Amino acid sequence: MSEFDHQQINDIIHSRIRLAVIALLISVEDAEFNFIKEKVNTTDGNLSVHIKKLEEAGYVSVKKEFIDRKPRTSYSLTKNGKKAFEIYIDHLETLTKK
Amino acid sequence: MDEKTALEELKFIRKIIDETRQSVVYNGKDYIFWGILVIVGMMSMYIFILNGIYFKYFYIWLVLISIGWAFSIYNGRKQEAKFPSTFAGKLIGNVWGVSGIAITIIGFVGTVSGTINPMAISPIACIIMGGAYYLTGKLCEANWMSKLAYGWWIGGIALLFIKTIESFLIMSLLMLFFQTIPGIIIYRRYKKEIMVKS
C-alpha cells in the first residue's frame, strides 16, 4: 500500500456526491438541478447540501432564471472549481503511478 | 487513499463524464419540422404552377418560414430548460441559426429587391445547408451527418442547372432524404435515450 499525505486531499471534492457533481459539470457549460439529481442519483435535500458546500468553496456558481414562466436553477463550475478538479485529478494520477 | 482507490476514483470520474456526454441529446424535431415545411412549400408551388394558378408565392413562404422560426425558438427553449448546455451544443445551434438567417435573407430580401432570381434560392439554400450539416456532423462526432453535406452540395449543383418547375420536386426530395428522414433518425435515438433514462 502506498504512503499518502492526507493533507493533500481536497476534502471538499473528496466526497462521492460532490465529486460526481463536479465531474458532471466539467463536461457541460451548465446543468439544471433535476438533471444533476438524476445523474448523481440522489435526493433533492442531499444534493442541495452538497451543492451548497461546493458553492461556499467557490467551486460552483448558481444561476436562477425563468424559462417559459417556469423557474430553472442551473449550476456551472467556476474557474476555481475547474482548477481544484484538475489538481485533484493530478493527485489521483500521481497516486496510481506510485 | 491507496493506489487501488485512486484508480477507482478515476474510473468513477470517467464514467460520470461519459454518461453526461451521452445524455446530452438533441431531439431532432427542428429537422423534421423544417423538412416538412419546405416540402409543403415546394409542393404547393409545383401544384399551383402546374395548374396555372399564379399569385405572389412569396406569401406562402412568409407564413411557412415564420411558423418554422417560431417552432425553432420554442423547441430551443424547451431543450434548454431540460438539458445542460455544452460548448459544442451552442456551436451547433449557432451554425444552424446563422445558416437559417442567411437563407431567410437571401430568400426574402434577395427576391423582393430583385437582385436574386427566385429559382436561385433553392440551390443557394442547398449549398448553405450542406455547410451546416458538415459542421454539425464534425461538432457532434457523427460522420453520417457530415456525409449528408455531399448530398446537399450535389443537389445544389444539380439545381443550378435545372431551372424548370421540376426543381421544386427535386428540392422536396432533397428535403425528404437529407433533412426529414435524418431528423426522424435523430428523434428515434432521442426517444430511445429518454426511455433508457426513465
What's phi and psi for A74, nearest 5 deg?
-125, 155
Q: What is the pLDDT of residues B125-145, one digit of tens each?
A: 999 999 999 999 988 778 999
Q: What is the pLDDT of residues B16-43, one digit of tens each?
A: 887 777 666 678 899 999 999 999 999 9
Which amino acid does the sequence have at B172?
S
- Partners of A29 on chain B (C-beta within 8 Å) are 84-87, 90
Q: What is the pLDDT of residues B143-197, one digit of tens each?
A: 999 999 999 999 999 999 999 999 999 999 999 999 999 999 988 888 877 666 5
| Strand, helix or coil for residue A41 | coil
Q: What is the pTM of this model?
A: 0.74
- Position A1 pLDDT exceeds 80: no
So what's the pLDDT on residue A67?
75
Nearest C-alpha of chain A: how many angstroms from B27? 16
So what's the pLDDT on residue A7?
54
The mean pLDDT value for B46-60 works out to 92
Please name the residue that has the C-alpha cell 452538497. Answer: A50
So what's the pLDDT on residue B128?
97
So what's the pLDDT on residue B174?
97
Neighbours of B70 (CB within 10 A): 10
Closest by Cα among B156, B173, B174 to B120: B156
In B, minimum Cα distance to A35 occurs at B83
Q: Are strands A60-67 and A31-32 parallel, antiparallel or unpaired?
A: unpaired
Structural domain includes residue B7: no
| A44 Cβ under 8 Å from any chain B Cβ | no
Taken in order B6, B11, B17, B20, the sign of the CA dihedral is negative
Nearest by CB: B17 against A23, A31, A38: A23
Cross-chain residue pair A39–B78, CB shorter than 8 Å: no
Closest by Cα among B25, B37, B45 to B71: B37
Contact between A18 and A36 (Cβ < 8 Å): no
So what's the pLDDT on residue B197?
57
So what's the pLDDT on residue A22?
94
| pLDDT band per the 50, 70, 90 thresholds, residue B101 | very high
Contact between A46 and A17 (Cβ < 8 Å): yes
So what's the pLDDT on residue B198?
54
Nearest C-alpha of chain B: how many angstroms from A31? 4
- Write out chain B in H/E/C secondary structure: CCHHHHHHHHHHHHHHHHHHHHHCCCCCHHHHHHHHHHHHHHHHHHHHHHCCCCCCCHHHHHHHHHHHHHHHHHHHHHHHHHCCECHHHHHHHHHHHHHHHHHHHHHHHHHHCCCCCHHHHHHHHHHHHHHHHHHHHHHCCCHHHHHHHHHHHHHHHHHHHCCCCHHHHHHHHHHHHHHHHHHHHHHHHHHHHHHHHC
Neighbours of B86 (CB within 10 A): 19
Measure the CA–CA gap between B91 and B78, rounded to whole angstroms. 18
Structural domain includes residue B164: yes
The CATH code of domain A10-97 reads: 1.10.10.10
Chain-centre distance of CA B144, in angstroms?
14
| Strand, helix or coil for residue A4 | coil
A70 phi-psi bin (left φ>0, alpha ψ -120 to 50, beta other) = beta
Chain-centre distance of CA B25, in angstroms?
15
Residue B160 lies in domain: 29-65+88-190
Domain ranges of chain A: 10-97
B28 phi-psi bin (left φ>0, alpha ψ -120 to 50, beta other) = left
Number of structural domains found in chain B: 1
So what's the pLDDT on residue B26?
72
Structural domain includes residue B176: yes
- Partners of B23 on chain A (C-beta within 8 Å) are 39
Closest by Cα among A9, A10, A12 to A52: A12
| pLDDT band per the 50, 70, 90 thresholds, residue B88 | confident
Q: What is the pLDDT of residues A42-81, one digit of tens each?
A: 999 999 999 999 999 999 999 998 877 778 889 999 999 9
- The residue ranking higher by pLDDT, B6 or A81, is A81
- The three cell numbers of residue A7 are 493533507
Q: What is the pLDDT of residues A2-47, one digit of tens each?
A: 444 555 678 888 888 999 999 999 988 888 898 899 888 899 999 9
So what's the pLDDT on residue B121?
95
Cross-chain residue pair A28–B85, CB shorter than 8 Å: yes
| Least confident among B11-20, B58-67, B119-128 | B11-20
Nearest by CB: B85 against A9, A29, A96: A29
Measure the CA–CA gap between A52 and A75, rounded to whole angstroms. 11
Structural domain includes residue B167: yes
Contact between B5 and A19 (Cβ < 8 Å): no
Structural domain includes residue B83: no
